[in-house]
Amino acid sequence: NAGVTQTPKFQVLKTGQSMTLQCAQDMNHEYMSWYRQDPGMGLRLIHYSVGAGITDQGEVPNGYNVSRSTTEDFPLRLLSAAPSQTSVYFCASTPDWNTGELFFGEGSRLTVL
Amino acid sequence: DAKTTQPNSMESNEEEPVHLPCNHSTISGTDYIHWYRQLPSQGPEYVIHGLTSNVNNRMASLAIAEDRKSSTLILHRATLRDAAVYYCILQDNYGQNFVFGPGTRLSVLP
C-alpha cells in the first residue's frame, strides 16, 4: 500500500529559486494538507484542501502556493525560496476531518542556502 | 485554537506501562482530543482520539478526565519501538487545523 507519497525526500535550493514538492495519495481521500516542521518544534499547517479545486490557507501560508486539480495530487510550490523556509515538509490526507486520522507522508527535507 | 500542555520528556522501562499526561484547560465542548506519535525521521502516526469517554484501541488507551481539562495516553506495555515524540492535539469544531505543539519525547529503556 503506497498511502501518501512525497517527492523529493531531500532538496537543496539557493535563495530565490523556486521548486515544487509533490504529494500524491492513492486512498481516494478528499482532504489533504501540508505542514512544516522546524527543529524541536511541532508541525504547523501551511495550506489545506477539502477536495479537488478547493484550497485554503493554514497558519503559515506566506511564500507557498498550492493547487488541487485532482483528488490524488496536492503539490506545494515555493515561489522564491528563502533560508527561513528550511524545514521538513509533511503532506497528510484524511477521508474525513471528523475521523481525526491523518495519514502522513515520510516528509521532504528542504534546505535553502 | 485551544492549547495543550505536555511534559517535554519522559522515560519508561521496557515492558512497563506508560502514562503520558496532557493538560487542556481551555478545551471547548466540541473539541476532540487526539494523540499522534512521531518516530525518528518519519511522519506523525495516528494513535487514538476521543471526545468524552475513555477509548481503547490496539495501540493504546485514552483516559479523559470528567471535566475534560486533561487526558492521559496509556501505553500498556512499552516496547523499544514506542520511543517517539507523542503529541496531544485538540481538533476544533471545523477540524481543518490540527495544532501540533512540541509534544513529549518518550524514551524507553531496555
Digit-coded pLDDT (tens) for B46-92:
999 999 999 999 989 999 999 999 999 999 999 999 999 999 998 87
Alpha carbon of A40: minimum distance to chain B alpha carbons (Å) = 7
Name the residue with cell 485554503: A56
Residues present in chain B in total: 110
Mutate to test the interface with A, among B6, B46, B85, B93 (most CBs of A within 10 A): B46
Q: For chain B, give the percent of residues with pLDDT over 70.
A: 94
Digit-coded pLDDT (tens) for A17-35:
999 999 999 999 999 999 9
Q: Do B100 and A44 touch (CB under 8 A)?
A: yes
Digit-coded pLDDT (tens) for A47-86:
999 999 999 998 899 999 999 999 999 999 999 999 999 9
- Neighbouring CB atoms inside 10 A of B101's CB total 17
- Per-residue pLDDT, B101: 82
A103 inside 8 A of chain B by CB: yes
Chain B environment of A35 (Cβ under 8 Å):
100
Alpha-carbon distance B3 to B100, whole Å?
Answer: 9
Which residues are CB-neighbours of A16 under 8 A, at least 6 positions away? A80, A81
Average pLDDT over residues B6-34: 93
Please say if the pLDDT value at position B95 is more than 90.
Answer: no
Alpha-carbon distance A3 to B84, whole Å?
Answer: 21
What are the residues of chain B with a beta carbon less than 8 Å away from any beta carbon of chain A?
Answer: 32, 34, 36, 41-46, 49, 87, 91, 94-103
Q: Do A106 and B98 touch (CB under 8 A)?
A: no
Closest residue on chain B to A40 (Cα): B102
Please give the full DSSP string across B67-108, using - where no structure is assigned. TSSEEEEEESS--GGG-EEEEEEEE-TT---B---S-EEEEE
A35 inside 8 A of chain B by CB: yes
Alpha-carbon distance A98 to B93, whole Å?
Answer: 9
- Per-residue pLDDT, B93: 58
